[in-house]
């Protein structure tokens, strides 16, 4: 069998995955009413051969949004929609995690309830960042993000509870796991990064303080799901949406140790060269992370089957997440198994629209 290690089983928390090919979270912007439906059920079920499907980023509250046409998990209708999706994946033999998302300052008043300001750790605008919003004429396009307001200290418990309630809905909908999105310059990473967090209270300043909200969110979600059904996505060294950080390695060391003590199932690392360009994570960094975190390590970033196989056989990671290859190849695992050529994705259909470029890519059979 080709790629024997990549296609071997893996224990992740309470789950046993049939292979180590993970479907990465992929925003596709195809839920105009924020409620997943039949189209999403078909899309995810087509990809049920993944060891684990991680859902597209899913808003935990109305104020968590930065992009139109993205799903939520804060209403009964959204919960019911996701239940249909999860059932389709389970019926096809798959396993699925829901990624919990708050964009923080990567938003605009036009997509916020009642035109409110977005929230962030500090009132610092994400320079160069854009969100995706509906224009007054009903069309959609990119807006430069707004300047956010800083979250008040007494607002933070309610924010943490939004994550808790989202996890409760995810559990009721039947998800096997949840993933806390603390990557890609969104709210939780904004708290982690020195360039976005200028607070002087218990959530700002030192590494310990800047990590506090992430760990409190993980604790809240773990109370609901059990720590062995919780993962987290992190993106050390990434600089997008105007985010910068002077202490990424120190933060990763601290988080890895703290998350390992909590016994969560996995760390999902989005690499800084996830587009195929930019700096790469070093093997020394990966080994150091392995020493500090004793759960499963998943890496995501422009992987091929060959690169993923090498990562795992070298002991640097346990699984690899694939994004764009899963857009165009619903049967990605089978293609890896047969060493078959991959379909090329069409970038013009990545975001928005309907079935075209979403559920119509051909399979081998």
**361 annotated active-site:** no
How far apart (Å, rounded) are the C-alpha atoms in residues 231 and 93? 21
How far apart (Å, rounded) are the C-alpha atoms in residues 245 and 249? 10
What tokens appear for 308 in the block?
């993923």
Which residue is catalytic, options 43, 69, 74, 186?
186
Strand 15-17 relative to strand 130-134, pairing: unpaired
Q: Is-contact 65 111, C-beta < 8 A?
A: yes
Torsion region of 152: left, alpha or beta (phi above 0 gives left; psi -120 to 50 gives alpha): beta
Least Cα distance to 86 among 49, 44, 52, 51 occurs for: 44
Runs of H (alpha helix) within the chain? 38-46, 76-91, 156-173, 187-192, 207-225, 248-262, 283-292, 305-313, 324-328, 332-338
Exposed / middle / buried, residue 317 (Cβ in 10 Å: 0-12, 13-18, 19+) = buried
Would you name the residues annotated as active-site residues? 186
């Amino acid at each position: 069998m080709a790629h024997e290690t990549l296609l071997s089983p893996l224990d992740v928390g309470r789950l046993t995955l049939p292979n180590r090919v993970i479907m990465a979270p992929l925003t596709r912007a195809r839920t105009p009413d924020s409620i997943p439906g039949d189209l999403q059920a078909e899309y995810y079920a087509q990809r049920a051969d993944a060891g684990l499907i991680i859902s597209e980023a899913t808003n935990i509250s109305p104020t968590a949004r930065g992009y139109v046409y993205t799903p939520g998990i804060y209403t009964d209708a959204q919960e019911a929609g996701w239940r249909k999706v999860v059932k389709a994946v389970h019926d096809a033999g798959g396993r699925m995690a829901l990624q919990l998302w708050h964009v923080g300052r990567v938003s605009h008043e036009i997509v916020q309830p009642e035109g409110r300001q977005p929230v962030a750790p500090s009132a610092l605008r994400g320079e160069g960042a854009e969100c995706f919003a509906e224009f007054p004429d009903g069309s959609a396009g990119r807006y430069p993000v707004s300047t956010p307001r800083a979250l008040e200290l007494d607002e933070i418990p309610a924010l943490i509870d939004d994550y808790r309630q989202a996890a409760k809905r995810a559990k009721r909908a039947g998800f096997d796991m949840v993933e806390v999105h603390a990557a890609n310059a969104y709210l939780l990473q904004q708290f982690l990064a020195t360039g976005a967090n200028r607070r002087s209270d218990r959530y700002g300043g030192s590494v310990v303080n800047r990590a506090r909200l992430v760990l409190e969110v993980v604790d809240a979600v773990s109370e609901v799901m059990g720590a062995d059904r919780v993962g987290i996505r992190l993106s050390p060294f990434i600089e997008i949406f105007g985010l910068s950080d002077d202490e990424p390695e120190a933060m990763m060391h601290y988080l890895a140790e703290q998350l390992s003590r909590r016994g969560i199932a996995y760390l999902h690392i989005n690499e800084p060269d996830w587009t195929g360009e930019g700096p790469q994570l070093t093997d020394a960094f990966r080994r150091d992370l392995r020493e500090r975190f004793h759960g499963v390590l998943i890496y995501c970033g422009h992987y091929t089957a060959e690169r993923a196989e090498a990562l795992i056989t070298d002991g640097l990671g346990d699984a690899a997440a694939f994004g764009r290859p899963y857009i165009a190849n619903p049967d990605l695992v089978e293609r890896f198994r047969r060493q078959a050529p991959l379909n090329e994705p069409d970038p013009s259909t990545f975001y928005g629209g309907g079935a075209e470029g979403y559920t119509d890519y051909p399979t081998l059979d």
